[in-house]
Amino acid sequence: MKQSIKSIDFSKGDGLVPVIVQDADTKNILTLAYSNQESLELTKKTGKSWFWSRSHKKLWMKGEESGNVQVVKNILVDCDSDALIYQVEPKGAPCHTGDSTCFHHSL
């Protein structure tokens, strides 16, 4: 089923929803970030992954500094509309450490 941005529930997370970024090809999970309505609209409009930075309190596009942009192939929504997956084609390293995923430690 197709949903619209208006149906996303941003209220539980003070205007934000968590976004899982997954490699559309390998299915590896690359990172977890946050989106508000505006960054989600920018993602839909530009086809690149946009987020809201909780630490810098501003919109950011993945790769705006590093050049390692992510082309968004699909956006998935969960059953209660409060979490998203961006399925992407990554250009360059997804993690600021230069690694191929942000999830490089185990517990």
Chain residues in the site for its own copies (CB under 8 A): 1-5, 8, 12, 18, 20, 22, 26-29, 31-32, 40, 44, 54, 74-81, 83-85, 95-97, 99, 102-107
> What single-letter amino acid sits at 80?
D
**Those residues with Cβ within 8 angstroms of residue 36's Cβ, 6 or more apart along the chain or in another chain:** 10, 15, 16, 17, 52
Nearer to its own copies by Cβ, of 64 and 96: the residue is 96
Q: Assign residue 45 a region (left: φ > 0; alpha: ψ between -120 and 50; beta: otherwise).
A: alpha
- Report, in Å, the least distance between residue 82 CB and its own copies: 8
**What is the three-class DSSP state of 11?**
helix
Rounded Cα distance between 80 and 30, Å, is 23
Closer to its own copies by Cβ: residue 34 or 59: 34
The CB-of-68 to its own copies minimum distance in angstroms stands at 14
Question: Residue 28 CB, nearest distance to its own copies (Å)?
Answer: 7
